[in-house]
């Protein structure tokens, strides 16, 4: 769910941190992507009629592969260098939130069964969308595909967002591409939203610059995190009656949650019992992430025969379709390196001073 109302908060209090970017400016840029989110979307949407999705003869779902294959090709064709990061175990603090979601899904499952019995097509469609889940095997198939396509792939120890942020902090990628605003709490230098929208919706890429957030809010990282916790995050409840607006003014006034609590009229604003805001803060400050020490990211040419063996051989994709898509990719590759210099000179100036990527 991210941070409630953070986009609006930032556009009100730190407008300079947001900037629209052209899709073309991402040529040759490395970006870290939370793959799990994309998989989920594809499962929900691709090739479904009623409760059917795309499958091979063995009945294995292939929607996620169809979607990821096409999308990855589109990115590579555009000269973007994606790194895919997969979710690991969710932090235990998220347990409450997850339990709620599970309840909802169980409900939807019951409704789905009922709808099937009644033969209510529309209801079946709706409910089956709500019961979608991504299995471990499906994630691993996407990893396999991504590796065959020559991309770096990571299985994050915990939340993918946190590891994407870590890759960006380490200077290994230009930005984390995500729709989830939590990424910024992990002090991710750059967050790019709508990266994949241009083709489908014509939305421009929206970049958030972490340093500018702190400058314009005139806050430290810790204070920004405190504001986000007050707004409402996945890790703990927030104080009723306190939303984005009060969160900012309270932190500005008192500096941190501890001090703020001493001055808060708890009659009006009841603080949750045993409120684990410190633990939430800790998760944002020191998340469990992939180790970036000495890490080098490499992109290699797609293994065409490997991809065909997997998608066509195992998953029954149309061979011609797959080969055609890969052919287009090859054609675009030459172009991309030709354009590299031009686009570099045309590009916005990039500061390299902020991240100390050298380590003794």
Partner DNA sequence: AGTCTGTCTCAAGACGGC
Partner DNA sequence: GTGTCTTGAGACAGACT
Partner DNA sequence: GCCGTCC
Task: Build a one-symbol-per-residue string for 236-265: x at contacts with DNA by CB under 7 A, - elsewhere.
Answer: --xxxxxxxxxx------------------
Alpha-carbon torsion 290, 296, 301, 305, what sign?
Answer: negative
The single residue among 96, 98, 110, 291 that binds DNA, judged by CB under 7 A, is 98
Q: Does 2 bind DNA (CB under 7 A)?
A: yes
DSSP conformation class of 55: B
- Cα–Cα distance, 8 to 245 (Å, whole number): 10
CB 208 within 8 A of CB 179: no
Stretch that binds DNA, among 20-28, 282-290, 313-321, 332-340 (CB under 7 A): 313-321
Least distance to DNA, CB of residue 243, Å: 3
Give the 3-state secondary structure of residue 84: strand
- Retrieve residue 147's tokens: 């590796």
Footprint (CB under 7 A) of DNA, residues 12-41: 36-37, 40-41
Task: Using alpha carbons only, give the angle 302, 304, 308 rounded to the nearest 5 degrees.
Answer: 130
Nearer to DNA, 293 or 320 (CB): 320
**CB < 8 Å & 24+ apart, contacts of 133-140:** 133/43, 133/105, 134/36, 134/39, 134/40, 134/43, 134/64, 138/39, 138/43, 138/61, 138/64, 139/35, 139/36, 139/39, 139/86, 139/87
Least distance to DNA, CB of residue 275, Å: 13
Nearer to DNA, 115 or 239 (CB): 239
The single residue among 18, 46, 93, 261 that binds DNA, judged by CB under 7 A, is 46
- Cα–Cα distance, 330 to 324 (Å, whole number): 10
Q: Does 62 bind DNA (CB under 7 A)?
A: yes
Nearer to DNA, 292 or 325 (CB): 325
Q: How far is CA 11 from CA 17, 146, 182, 186, 225, in A?
A: 8, 35, 16, 19, 17
**CB-based burial label for 60 (10 Å; 0-12, 13-18, 19+):** middle
The single residue among 200, 262, 352, 353 that binds DNA, judged by CB under 7 A, is 200
Stretch that binds DNA, among 130-138, 146-154, 215-223, 332-340 (CB under 7 A): 130-138
Least distance to DNA, CB of residue 313, Å: 11
Q: Does 1 bind DNA (CB under 7 A)?
A: yes
Chain residues that interact with DNA, rule: CB under 7 A: 1-2, 4, 7, 36-37, 40-42, 44-47, 54-56, 62, 66-67, 70-71, 74, 86-90, 98, 101-102, 104-105, 129-130, 133-136, 179-181, 196-197, 199-201, 232, 234, 238-247, 268, 315-318, 321-322, 324-325
């Amino acid at each position: 769910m991210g941070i409630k109302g953070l986009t609006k908060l930032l556009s009100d209090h730190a407008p300079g941190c947001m900037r629209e970017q052209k899709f073309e400016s991402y040529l040759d840029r490395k970006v870290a992507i939370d793959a799990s989110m994309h998989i989920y979307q594809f499962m929900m949407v691709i090739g479904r009629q009623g409760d059917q999705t795309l499958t091979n003869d063995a009945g294995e779902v292939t929607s996620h592969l169809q979607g990821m294959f096409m999308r990855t090709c589109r990115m590579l064709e555009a000269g973007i260098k994606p790194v895919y990061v997969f979710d690991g175990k969710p932090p235990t603090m998220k347990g409450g939130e997850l339990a709620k979601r599970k309840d909802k899904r169980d409900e939807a499952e019951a409704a789905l069964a009922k709808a099937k019995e009644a033969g209510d097509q529309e209801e079946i469609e709706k409910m089956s969308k709500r019961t979608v889940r991504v299995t471990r095997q499906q994630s691993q198939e996407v990893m396999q595909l991504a590796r065959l396509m020559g991309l770096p792939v990571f299985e994050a120890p915990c939340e993918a967002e946190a590891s994407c942020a870590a890759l960006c902090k380490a200077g290994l990628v230009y930005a984390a591409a995500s729709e989830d605003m939590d990424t910024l709490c992990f002090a991710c230098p750059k967050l790019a939203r709508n990266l994949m929208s241009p083709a489908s919706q014509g939305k421009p890429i929206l970049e958030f610059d972490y340093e500018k957030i702190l400058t314009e809010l005139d806050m430290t990282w810790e204070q920004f995190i405190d504001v986000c916790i007050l707004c409402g995050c996945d890790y703990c409840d927030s104080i009723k009656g306190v939303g984005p607006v009060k969160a900012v003014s309270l932190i500005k006034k008192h500096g941190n949650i501890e001090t703020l609590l001493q001055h808060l009229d708890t009659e009006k604003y009841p603080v949750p019992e045993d409120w684990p805001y410190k633990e939430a803060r800790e998760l944002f400050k020191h998340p469990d992430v992939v180790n970036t020490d000495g890490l080098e990211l490499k992109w290699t040419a797609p293994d065409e025969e490997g991809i065909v063996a997997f998608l066509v051989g195992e998953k029954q994709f149309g061979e011609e379709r797959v080969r055609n898509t890969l052919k287009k990719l090859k054609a675009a590759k030459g172009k991309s390196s030709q354009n590299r210099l031009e686009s570099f000179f045309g590009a916005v100036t990039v500061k390299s001073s902020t991240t100390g990527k050298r380590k003794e």
